[in-house]
Structure 1
């Protein structure tokens, strides 16, 4: 399903086979250090697991760095994909119980979707049509300034700046700098992650909690970076439990 006119501006919307109303809606964002080479197909097993748990799922694609993305296109696309849900006329989409789930770079973009209401007019993604009820970050890069050395300069490639060059751009793109988000969050992270350090989640949760947000960290002992999206691994079980908590009726 297209949400825009560019080739990568599409997503896959999947509903449970049961006729019962879904428990909620989950927007899924894949990772890959925001670079071309990884796409939404990597998250299809996660989608299947969420659908089996009776969630409606919107698995999105977006323009990545070196494929027309970066600043501001990647952010424009993810915002458009989220807002597209508001245009759909389906009684099976409950946007009051929308949880955004992302892995790695997708964890960053999931956190960014939760901070859109705080963006200044004119910033990419400002004035959201849809606001999540919760965010689940799986090994997410939630502190862009603190992640400048990750992925061979992936953050600089995404933002096209450094914190010293353009601090305002980092304030408009880094979830840690936007706390309090006003959206509950759960950060699931493996203790053996060698791609995105556990400190990314720990620092975000500490800052969000200190600022008044409801935020928690779930450490998955011995899990590496990719095991959090392996639906056979206990790391995924922790992620699914977080989605269930955040989507539960208040």
Structure 2
């Protein structure tokens, strides 16, 4: 269903629609089960605008309003953006609600495509920051889930992933002091191993899904090793992946316009979402790219 535009948004800023998506097995919370849709201005042919699904971070708490600026800036580069909110761990979310919410938001994309046929939905990108990166990486593998598992039977599954400072090895994170992972899953790896097995990205590798993992070298919230371990595992299993290290950036600094690497990160997202599968595959060689101020983005060349 559609609602009024949120405060501070306008058609002129690229904002198109605010939706409350339905949730399985319950009633949606309009204050949390919503998503903003952004479409580049102007007229577009059917199936001509790539879609990026953006999932915010913040320790699996509310935060999609803070991602609206990023959504607008991506839209200005010519891609459509669905900015997703979900029930927070401290507001009725956690296991399994937060995860099923993200699945339900993604499964709303076919309905969005019906109303906005300009977007493409056959080979799309999901981007997440921090906790959202875990959700994004997991969302990219929903097609592998068996019936009855959380998020199974997807109506829409992204096929490209960009992880921004993501805890992509949740078991390792929990064992190294990440209390937020323990909180969202309702226990430690030894207490609820099945939950970790169900949604931990590194335990749900799909080598057919290309992944770019971006991480600040000075991140003290989610260690760089989280991304490094995931990229190494995905590459070892025959997948296409790359680790991009942002020199001197911390957990969130590179998502501020004041950062000299902010535009580079948007370039990475744009490149992943618009390159052909062949070109993207050539660039994701399992290596590591170091991005300092003024250096090339991961999509500039295979060895960038």
Aligned pair partner of 1:85 in 109, 112, 136:
109
Other-structure match for 2:282:
none
Other-structure match for 1:56:
80
Other-structure match for 1:114:
140
RMSD: 1.7
Could you report, residue by residue, the CA deviation over 1:72-127 in whole angstroms, capped at 9, with x for unpaired residues?
10011000001100122121221123111111101111111012112222111012
Deviation at 1:49, TM superposition (A): 0.9
Which fold has the larger relative contact order, with Cα–Cα distance below 8 Å and residues 6 or more apart in sequence? 1
- Structure 1 residues 139-150: aligned runs within 5 Å: 139-148=165-174
Other-structure match for 2:246:
220
Other-structure match for 1:129:
155
- Structure 1 residues 68-217: aligned runs within 5 Å: 68-88=92-112, 89=114, 90-148=116-174, 153-217=179-243
Deviation at 1:149, TM superposition (A): 5.7
Contact 1:190/1:235 (8 A) holds in 2:
no
Distance in 1 of aligned mates of 2:235 and 2:264? 20
Other-structure match for 1:244:
270
Unaligned runs of 5+ in 1: none
Deviation at 1:64, TM superposition (A): 1.0
Contact 1:103/1:229 (8 A) holds in 2:
no
Where is the helix percentage greater, Structure 1 or Structure 2?
A: 1
With normalisation by structure 1, the TM-score equals 0.93
Deviation at 1:236, TM superposition (A): 2.8
- CA gap of 1:240–1:108, structure 2 versus 1, over 3 A, is same
Distance in 2 of aligned mates of 1:15 and 1:126? 28
- Secondary structure of the 1:213 match is coil
Unaligned runs of 5+ in 2: 1-18, 23-27, 278-304
- CA gap of 1:151–1:103, structure 2 versus 1, over 3 A, is farther
Number of aligned positions between the proteins:
248
Larger radius of gyration: 2
Contact 1:9/1:77 (8 A) holds in 2:
yes
- Secondary structure of the 1:95 match is coil
Deviation at 1:2, TM superposition (A): 0.7
Distance in 2 of aligned mates of 1:70 and 1:216? 30
Could you report, residue by residue, the CA deviation over 1:43-78 in whole angstroms, capped at 9, with x for unpaired residues?
111101101001111001000111010011001100
- CA gap of 1:87–1:108, structure 2 versus 1, over 3 A, is same
